[in-house]
């Protein structure tokens, strides 16, 4: 059988397609190759030196065994609830949408004996209250996977505390170890301490792997395995892409070309990066990508401490839905965007359109055609329309959506992020700017360590009547 692939297509950024004002010439591509090839070598060397631990996630036979054992242990449940945020949630949501059917949670038949999956990645009171009322009546058939590397993340911690109390009140103190699995740091942190105290089953967030690069670790693997996804194939796909993105030659390395084209356009004023999926199943990977790209590349300082304030703004779009919402802007608004289409050659399921009635002969072109033909024609039509407006686009094409191709896609985007970070000259693995807002929240919530900060925030949080109309 031919191996399913993820292909990277970049012709629609070339000068020969878009003209010189918006296209990239062969000379510019060669210059990008010369700049990027040493960075590929450096990234490969960094990996050998243990500086990019996420690169080793495809090769974790022991972890797979452990994840599968925990998945087996909780397979009695009817509801599997993930408590986490950011890198602890987005990969789980994306894997579920991509690899399980649209009606998975609602249709027992489509779930094939696996539990429903819920990912609670916010602390919205109305959302949580509705969810708790639903899950509270099903606690005895529910397992919670609390995921937090630090264990101190306010959103996850508040959910976890609430759930623990519900479990204790309804099922007794001893219920925690049956109903909760904690995924956290191996040794340190609040969640590790709590898990060890209560004797919870635990899985590890590997050392040196940041949240947004952790989907191929137990952070994403447990939820996927519990919901019937073939996690070995997922990692096999990532391993296959590892070979391609380690390739020293720029023109053979899809991550290098992707990162370089994104960086090039950023420097030419196209600072918005739109990921437009022409597959509902892949739409949540655009959300996952938003975090990966934004937290990794949006930085005030370069590696030498010089202020640079860089970072492309990632935007999510869905075809064909957003053709009726965004495409007007994308074609006629400012030419400040680079588009990445997600395309699928062969969909796992299809629907035949019914014949048009005699009174509507103008719909005859749809009769007996497949919905997949319509969606892919809309994608090609949009690509064509973008070229007519001189808008550059890349396409990442999946032969099919499967664990194997999804693993390739994840690894391609992660390696692209590392290389883009190197091109921008910044640290792609930290996120210092999220701290102040977190600390301000601790202060406003009365956490003792931040009393002085709470005083500082007061003048900004008091409403000034002068400005209310």
79 near ligand PA5 (CB under 6 A): no
Query: How far apart are CB 314 and ligand PA5 at their closest, in Å?
Result: 14
Query: How far apart are CB 238 and ligand PA5 at their closest, in Å?
Result: 18
Query: How far apart are CB 159 and ligand PA5 at their closest, in Å?
Result: 11
Query: How far apart are CB 344 and ligand PA5 at their closest, in Å?
Result: 28
Tell me whether residue 50 is exposed, middle or buried, using C-beta atoms within 10 angstroms of its C-beta: 0 to 12, 13 to 18, 19 or more.
exposed
Backbone φ and ψ for 180, nearest 5 degrees, come out as -130, 135
Residue numbers 245-274 binding ligand PA5 by CB under 6 A: none
Contact status, residue 318 vs residue 280, Cβ threshold 8 Å: yes
Closer residue to ligand PA5, CB minimum distance, 284 or 383:
284
Query: How far apart are CB 194 and ligand PA5 at their closest, in Å?
Result: 13
299 near ligand PA5 (CB under 6 A): no
Closer residue to ligand PA5, CB minimum distance, 437 or 459:
437
Tell me whether residue 254 is exposed, middle or buried, using C-beta atoms within 10 angstroms of its C-beta: 0 to 12, 13 to 18, 19 or more.
buried
Contact status, residue 307 vs residue 370, Cβ threshold 8 Å: no
Which tokens belong to 229?
């996804």
Looking at the DSSP assignment, which residues form a beta bridge with residue 339? 274, 393
The CB-nearest residue to ligand PA5 is 211
Residues 128, 107: Cα–Cα separation, whole Å: 23
220 near ligand PA5 (CB under 6 A): no
Query: How far apart are CB 62 and ligand PA5 at their closest, in Å?
Result: 22
Residues 6+ apart with CB under 8 A from 285: 94, 97, 98, 275, 277, 342, 406, 409, 410
Compute and round to an integer the Cα radius of gyration of the chain.
24
Q: Tokens 């099922």, residue? A: 171
Catalytic residue among 53, 141, 301, 438: 438
Contact status, residue 277 vs residue 283, Cβ threshold 8 Å: yes
Query: How far apart are CB 307 and ligand PA5 at their closest, in Å?
Result: 23
* Count of alpha carbons within 13 angstroms of residue 86, beta-carbon side: 20
Query: How far apart are CB 86 and ligand PA5 at their closest, in Å?
Result: 3
Q: Tokens 């703004």, residue? A: 313
Catalytic residue among 155, 295, 383, 414: 295
Q: Which of 121, 204, 295, 383 binds ligand PA5 (CB under 6 A)?
A: 295
421 near ligand PA5 (CB under 6 A): no
* Interface stretch with ligand PA5, choices 79-87, 235-243, 251-259, 419-427 (CB under 6 A): 79-87
Closer residue to ligand PA5, CB minimum distance, 83 or 396:
83
Closer residue to ligand PA5, CB minimum distance, 211 or 403:
211
Catalytic, 383? Answer: no
Contact status, residue 396 vs residue 244, Cβ threshold 8 Å: no
CA distances from 315 to 44, 248, 378 (A): 29, 30, 20
Tell me whether residue 423 is exposed, middle or buried, using C-beta atoms within 10 angstroms of its C-beta: 0 to 12, 13 to 18, 19 or more.
buried
Query: Total binding residues for ligand PA5 by CB under 6 A?
Result: 13
150 near ligand PA5 (CB under 6 A): yes
Q: Which of 5, 97, 148, 262 binds ligand PA5 (CB under 6 A)?
A: 148
211 near ligand PA5 (CB under 6 A): yes
Catalytic residue among 27, 243, 306, 324: 324
Instruction: Say what the alpha-carbon torsion angle 88, 90, 91, 96 is, to the nearest 10 degrees.
Output: 120
CA distances from 394 to 258, 338, 388, 428 (A): 8, 8, 15, 22
Catalytic, 438? Answer: yes
CA distances from 383 to 68, 257, 295 (A): 42, 19, 28
Residues 235, 209: Cα–Cα separation, whole Å: 16
156 near ligand PA5 (CB under 6 A): yes
* Interface stretch with ligand PA5, choices 84-92, 119-127, 241-249, 250-258 (CB under 6 A): 84-92
Catalytic, 324? Answer: yes
Closer residue to ligand PA5, CB minimum distance, 190 or 389:
190
* Interface stretch with ligand PA5, choices 61-69, 145-153, 223-231, 362-370 (CB under 6 A): 145-153
Q: Which of 87, 220, 223, 319 binds ligand PA5 (CB under 6 A)?
A: 87
The catalytic residues are 295, 324, 438
Q: Which residues contact ligand PA5 by CB under 6 A?
A: 85-88, 148-150, 153, 156, 210-212, 295
């Amino acid at each position: 059988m031919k191996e399913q692939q993820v292909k990277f297509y970049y012709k629609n950024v070339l000068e020969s397609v878009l003209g010189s004002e918006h296209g990239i010439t062969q000379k510019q591509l060669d210059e990008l190759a010369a700049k990027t090839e040493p960075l590929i070598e450096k990234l490969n060397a960094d990996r050998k030196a243990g500086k990019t631990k996420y690169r080793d996630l495809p090769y974790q036979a022991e972890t797979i065994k452990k994840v599968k054992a925990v998945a087996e242990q909780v397979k009695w449940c009817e509801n599997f609830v993930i408590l986490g945020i950011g890198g602890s949630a987005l990969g789980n949501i994306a894997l579920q949408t991509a690899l399980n059917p649209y009606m998975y949670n609602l249709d027992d038949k489509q779930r094939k004996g696996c539990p429903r999956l819920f990912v609670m990645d916010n602390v919205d009171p109305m959302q949580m209250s509705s969810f708790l009322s639903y899950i509270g009546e099903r606690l005895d058939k529910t397992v919670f996977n609390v995921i937090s590397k630090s264990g101190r993340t306010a959103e996850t911690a508040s959910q976890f505390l609430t759930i623990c109390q519900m479990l204790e009140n309804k099922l007794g103190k001893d219920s925690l170890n049956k109903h909760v699995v904690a995924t956290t740091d191996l040794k340190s942190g609040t969640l590790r301490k709590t898990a060890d105290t209560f004797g919870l089953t635990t899985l590890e967030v590997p050392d040196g792997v940041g949240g947004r690069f952790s989907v191929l670790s137990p952070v994403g693997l447990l939820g996927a395995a519990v919901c019937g996804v073939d996690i070995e194939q997922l990692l096999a796909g990532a391993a296959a892409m590892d070979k391609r993105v380690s390739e020293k030659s720029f023109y053979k390395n899809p991550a290098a070309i992707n990162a370089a084209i994104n960086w090039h356009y950023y420097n030419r004023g196209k600072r918005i990066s739109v990921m437009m999926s022409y597959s509902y199943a892949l739409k949540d990977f655009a959300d996952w990508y938003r975090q990966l790209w934004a937290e990794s590349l949006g930085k005030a300082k370069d590696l030498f401490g010089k202020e640079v304030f860089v970072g492309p703004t990632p935007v999510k779009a869905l075809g064909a839905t957003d053709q009726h919402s965004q495409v007007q802007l994308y074609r006629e608004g400012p030419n400040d965007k680079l588009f990445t289409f997600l395309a699928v050659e062969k969909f796992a399921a299809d629907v035949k359109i019914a014949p048009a009635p005699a009174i509507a002969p103008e719909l005859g072109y749809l009769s007996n055609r497949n919905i997949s033909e319509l969606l892919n024609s809309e994608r090609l039509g949009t690509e064509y329309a973008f070229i007519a407006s001189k808008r550059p686009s890349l396409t990442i094409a999946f032969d099919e959506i499967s664990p194997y191709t999804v693993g390739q896609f994840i690894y391609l985007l992660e390696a692209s992020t590392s290389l883009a970070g190197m091109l921008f000259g910044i640290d792609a693995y930290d996120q210092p700017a999220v701290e102040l807002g977190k600390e301000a929240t601790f202060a406003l919530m009365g956490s003792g360590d931040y009393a002085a900060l709470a005083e500082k925030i007061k003048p900004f949080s008091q409403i000034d009547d002068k400005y209310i109309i």
